[in-house]
């Protein structure tokens, strides 16, 4: 990679200003991305191209609408009492089966991430909900936090909503269609592995506080789990399945409308709550993520304008195969320390273009898995920090220490999936 080409200098200027703004000046990630885009435009001789900056801001408008509406849906089902009631039912159902309970708890942790595309949402909703229960079941606090952090990341990558995959696909004009099964291939084995590693050994011992656990479960069951309470989830599944499997006869409402309709249906059952207040709270929680997506859009737009994206792609193509795989397994998660979404755009897109001989959907899914690991990388380490907070652990590095091995296995699994992308896709329906 010759950094003395003009595009190499622009790359250093953009990435350097981004790191300076995010780490040294402690700017919000969205502002740091926007500032780096402006620096790149100035260095590339484009001046201050307002049109390109505005166009980049709206580059991920579809994804922004999906995340905002998904957050409203999650907040609605949380306020209605569905999350607590469902978690209590699963725990009671599998209490005498430690293996199934371990897997069930992991699924509960993953669900908000699957719906919103945000690991933070998963940690702060169902992660915070099951953390005290897991501790009372006998799982140590740091292992509980590690399981929540890993489950949140796998939920963020699992279908139906995977923002890094949307960003990577958007970089090469690949629609977010047909990702469901490839994303399940990437995440389900890892979720099972992490549950067996971090949760199952302690549930198997049966050393929990039964009396305290019963008190928690009784509180969570204040709203009975009925078919009516499940209506938002059932309606969402019907709406999404109709668009997926009956496209010729089903009205193409789009994912944001599907989420909003399902959220509104929660008003008909469960606890009564103020929908507008819940919606405002949900959007307010989502603003940091939405801002990052706007900043990422500007960053990519200017990268393309001044030739940085092409320079990175050509440089990646020049790497020997072994170094390319090692590079993607390390650089994408490490860059994700600033932003998993930024990592998906800056590095995920070039690596996907360098691997166009393999199935793009499977490769994009695996690259999004690597980008998701960025939420474990200090100093930001969003999943690790918030998971430590929900269990009351002040030193989040104690949590990250227990996430290290699952993270390494995750990176290795992503590379294996990429190397065998065509073969794996051949077995999928």
Q: What is the pLDDT of residue 401?
A: 95
Angle value at C-alpha 377, between 154 and 14, nearest 5 degrees: 110
Which residues have C-beta within 8 Å of that of residue 13, sequence separation ≥ 6? 39, 40, 43
Tens digits of residue pLDDT in 222-280: 888 888 899 999 999 899 888 777 778 888 888 899 999 999 999 998 899 999 999 99
Which pLDDT belongs to residue 194? 97
**What is the number of alpha carbons within 13 Å of residue 381 lying toward its C-beta?**
24
What pLDDT shows up at residue 357?
A: 86
Residue 29 confidence (pLDDT) above 70: yes
Token pair of 165 as six digits: 């995959």
Average pLDDT of every residue of the chain: 89
Instruction: State how far the Cα of 117 lies from the Cα of 162, in Å rounded to an integer.
Output: 5
Q: For residues 229 and 269, give the distance between their C-alpha atoms in angstroms, rounded to a whole number.
A: 6
pLDDT cut 70: percent of the chain above it: 98
In the chain, what are the helix, strand and coil shares in percent, each to the nearest 5?
75, 0, 25
What is the number of other CB atoms lying within 10 angstroms of the CB of residue 325? 18
CA 52 vs CA 72, 300, 302: distances in Å: 30, 10, 7
Here the tokens at position 86 are 């469902």
Distance, CA of 384 to chain centre: 13
* Angle (nearest 5°) at CA 333 between 327 and 338: 125
Q: What is the DSSP string of 279-322?
A: HHHHHHHHHHHHHHHHHHHHHHHHHHHHTHHHHHHHHHHTS-HH
DSSP structural state of residue 376 = G
Q: What is the pLDDT of residue 267?
A: 93
C-alpha span between 429 and 265 (Å, rounded): 33
pLDDT tops 70 at residue 1: no
Contact 367, 157 (CB under 8 A): no
* Stretch 29-44: mean pLDDT: 91
At CA 228, angle to CA 227 and CA 232, rounded to 5? 100
Q: What is the pTM of this model?
A: 0.85
In this predicted structure, what is the pLDDT of residue 368? 96
**CA 207 remoteness from chain centre:** 33
**What confidence score (pLDDT) does residue 338 get?**
67
pLDDT band for 207, please (50, 70, 90 cuts).
Answer: low
C-alpha neighbours within 13 Å on the C-beta side of residue 340: 31
| pLDDT tens-digit series, residues 320-343 | 877 889 989 998 998 777 678 878
pLDDT in tens, 53-72: 999 998 888 888 988 998 99
> Are 62 and 107 contacting, i.e. CB atoms less than 8 angstroms apart?
no
Out of 106-110, 136-140, 212-216, 394-398, pick the least confident. 212-216
Task: Say how many residues make up the chain.
Answer: 429
What was the pLDDT predicted at 215?
86
CA–CA dist 388, 284 (Å, integer): 22
Supply the Cα-derived Rg of the chain in whole angstroms.
Answer: 22
Q: Are 156 and 123 in contact (CB under 8 A)?
A: no
């Amino acid at each position: 990679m010759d950094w003395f080409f003009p595009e190499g200098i622009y790359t250093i200027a953009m990435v350097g200003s981004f790191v300076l703004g995010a780490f040294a000046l402690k700017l919000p990630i969205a502002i740091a991305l926007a500032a780096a885009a402006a620096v790149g435009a100035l260095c590339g001789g484009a001046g201050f191209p307002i049109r390109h900056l505005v166009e980049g801001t709206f580059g991920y408008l579809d994804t922004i609408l999906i995340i905002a509406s998904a957050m409203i849906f999650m907040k609605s089902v949380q306020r209605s009492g569905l999350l607590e009631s469902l978690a209590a039912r699963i725990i009671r159902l599998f209490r005498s089966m430690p293996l199934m309970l371990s897997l069930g708890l992991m699924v509960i942790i993953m669900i908000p991430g699957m719906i919103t595309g945000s690991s933070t949402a998963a940690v702060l909703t169902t992660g915070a909900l099951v953390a005290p229960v897991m501790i009372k079941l006998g799982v140590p606090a740091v292992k509980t936090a590690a399981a929540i952090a890993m489950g949140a990341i796998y939920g963020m990558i699992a279908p139906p909503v995977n923002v890094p995959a949307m960003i990577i696909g958007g970089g090469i004009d690949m629609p977010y269609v047909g990702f469901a099964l490839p994303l399940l291939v990437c995440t389900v084995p890892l979720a099972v592995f992490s549950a067996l590693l971090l949760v199952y050994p302690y549930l198997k011992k049966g050393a929990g506080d039964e009396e305290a656990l019963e008190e928690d479960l009784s509180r969570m069951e204040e709203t009975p789990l009925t078919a009516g309470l499940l209506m938002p989830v059932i309606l969402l599944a019907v709406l999404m399945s109709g668009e997926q499997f009956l496209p010729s006869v089903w009205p193409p409402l789009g994912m944001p409308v599907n989420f909003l309709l399902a959220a509104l249906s929660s008003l008909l059952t469960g606890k009564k709550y103020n929908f507008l207040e819940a919606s405002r709270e949900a959007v307010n929680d989502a603003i940091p993520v939405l801002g990052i997506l706007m900043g990422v859009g500007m960053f990519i737009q200017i990268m393309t304008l001044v030739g940085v994206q092409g320079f990175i792609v050509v440089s990646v193509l020049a790497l020997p195969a072994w170094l390319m795989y090692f590079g993607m397994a390390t650089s994408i998660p490490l860059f994700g320390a600033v932003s998993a979404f930024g990592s998906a755009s800056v590095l995920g897109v070039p690596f996907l273009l360098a691997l166009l001989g393999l199935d793009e959907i499977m490769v994009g899914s695996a690259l999004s898995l690597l980008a998701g690991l960025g939420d474990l990388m200090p100093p930001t380490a969003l999943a690790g920090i918030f998971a430590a907070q929900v269990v009351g652990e002040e030193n989040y590095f104690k949590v990250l220490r227990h996430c290290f091995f699952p993270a390494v296995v995750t990176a290795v699994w992503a590379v294996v999936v990429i190397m065998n992308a065509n073969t794996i896709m051949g077995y999928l329906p």
